[in-house]
Amino acid sequence: MSLNSTPRSSRTHIALFGKTNAGKSSFINAITNQNLAIVSDVKGTTTDPVYKSIEILPIGPCVLIDTAGLDDESTLGNLRKEKTLEVLNKSDIALVLIDSNIGISDYDYFIIDQIKSKKIPYVVIFNKSDLKDLNEDYIKKLEKDLGTKIYKTSAIKSIGINSIKKQISNLLPCDEDKFKIVGDLVNPSDFVVLVTPIDKAAPKGRLILPQQQVIRDILESDAISIVTKEYELRETINNLGKKPKLVITDSQAFLKVDADTPKDILMTSFSILFARFKGDLVELINGAKKIKDLKDKDKVLICEGCTHHRQSDDIGTVKIPRWIRQITGKEIIFEHSSGGGFPDNLKDYSLIVHCGACMLNQKSMLYRIEQAKENNIPIVNYGILIAYVHGILDRALEPFPLAKLIWEEE
């Protein structure tokens, strides 16, 4: 992946909901000016959520999620509805498409209620307005009932599409600073040293995604990124001629980097940065506090947001279980999940250890943390756990004074 291509996890996720044959696929083709989605008069053409990464002006890089209709009453349809509703947990903005020929239905009210309950910004759209133009009194009454403006479109004739794009842009977060990975920690012209081990697990020919994203964020903040490997770190710092503001390391090189970074230079990890950027750093730190309370036969879930080829000394299946057993001295039972989400038996676990979430968007990771909280299960991520088991979490949290204060509280 090149540095100028936006990964799915960093794109705005826009989900399209509605009954079967409301024109969702035609709407996607209209809003993107491309024939991306299959259009058919046959009900249920879209069977599972379909994700399409695309750039839409003036919205920018986004992921359009085309969902199955909610009014399929078959057994298979119920499974499709479950998958459709799961999409809400990763949606930044929701579009509810209603067939003007039919009008608003119980299914539409249901999905709007679900969207509101999750506090997702949304747009209600009456499509196929070229076939039936609803009178203004009906629209005004409905707007009052729903508490939101209603838009009229014709996806086939591209009527009203620009108004939808403009409204989506209006709903996007405007405070960009709070979404920075590292930019709020550095000033223009600061040096930031990135320690990126190149081992057998690294993808051939490129840096891993978190490293790419951090470099991009440093450049956008007008700071200077210097990339080195762990065994060249000491020499790199000595040759700079200027003290770096921050050293960021891959978690697996924590001990070496801690030893070779002077104590007057701030140090943290990519994974801890992403714990803050994608999730809730304080909640994940509280999760680390619970590691010492694990007992014999407790179950720990190690969860990864994507599927990947595991190496012989894999971080999730080999190293983390070994470290937890060593630091607790307990016989812990480890189970693993990857990809779609948590398993159904979440209440069986005493701790969740989650990856850095580089392949998940912020909405998805925050939802997972909320699931853990609702089930009273502590959750920690890889980077925080690794710093903890190696006894250097205090130092790794120094760039984040509030988080360090939480960690030091009894």
Express as a percent the part of the chain with pLDDT over 70. 86
Task: Render pLDDT for 107-156 as a digit per residue (tens, 0 to 9).
Answer: 899 999 999 999 999 999 999 998 888 888 889 999 999 999 999 999 99
pLDDT confidence of residue 202 = 54
Task: Render pLDDT for 174-210 as a digit per residue (tens, 0 to 9).
Answer: 555 444 789 999 999 999 999 998 755 555 555 677 8
pLDDT confidence of residue 136 = 87
Rounded CA gap, 216 and 221, in Å?
9
In the chain, where the domains are located: 8-171, 178-272, 279-408
| Residue 67 near residue 15 (C-beta atoms within 8 A) | yes
Question: Band of the pLDDT at 26, cuts 50, 70, 90?
Answer: confident
Question: Band of the pLDDT at 4, cuts 50, 70, 90?
Answer: very low
Rounded CA gap, 130 and 152, in Å?
9
| Residue 121 near residue 171 (C-beta atoms within 8 A) | yes
178-272: which CATH topology?
A: Rossmann fold (3.40.50)
Residues 271-280, mean pLDDT to the nearest whole number: 89
pLDDT confidence of residue 248 = 96
| Ramachandran sector of residue 129 (left: φ over 0; alpha: ψ -120 to 50; beta: rest) | alpha
| Residue 262 near residue 237 (C-beta atoms within 8 A) | yes
pLDDT confidence of residue 36 = 60
* Contacts of 394 by beta carbon, 8 Å cutoff, 6+ apart: 404, 407, 408
Residues 308-315, mean pLDDT to the nearest whole number: 65
Would you say the C-alpha torsion 38, 42, 43, 47 has a positive or negative sign? Answer: negative
pLDDT confidence of residue 256 = 95
Do 279-408 and 8-171 have the same topology in CATH?
yes
Which residues partner with 358 through β-bridges?
none
Residues 318-330, mean pLDDT to the nearest whole number: 95
Q: Please give the CATH superfamily to which domain 8-171 belongs.
A: P-loop containing nucleotide triphosphate hydrolases (3.40.50.300)
CA 114 to chain centre: 20
Task: Render pLDDT for 33-82 as a digit per residue (tens, 0 to 9).
Answer: 776 654 544 454 445 688 888 887 777 788 899 888 776 665 556 777 78
Q: What is the DSSP letter of 315?
A: I
279-408: which CATH topology?
A: Rossmann fold (3.40.50)
Q: Which helix (H) or strand (E) covers residue 123, if one does?
A: strand 122-127
User: How high does pLDDT run on average in the chain?
Assistant: 86
- Angle at alpha carbon of residue 276, lines to 65 and 294, rounded to 5°: 105
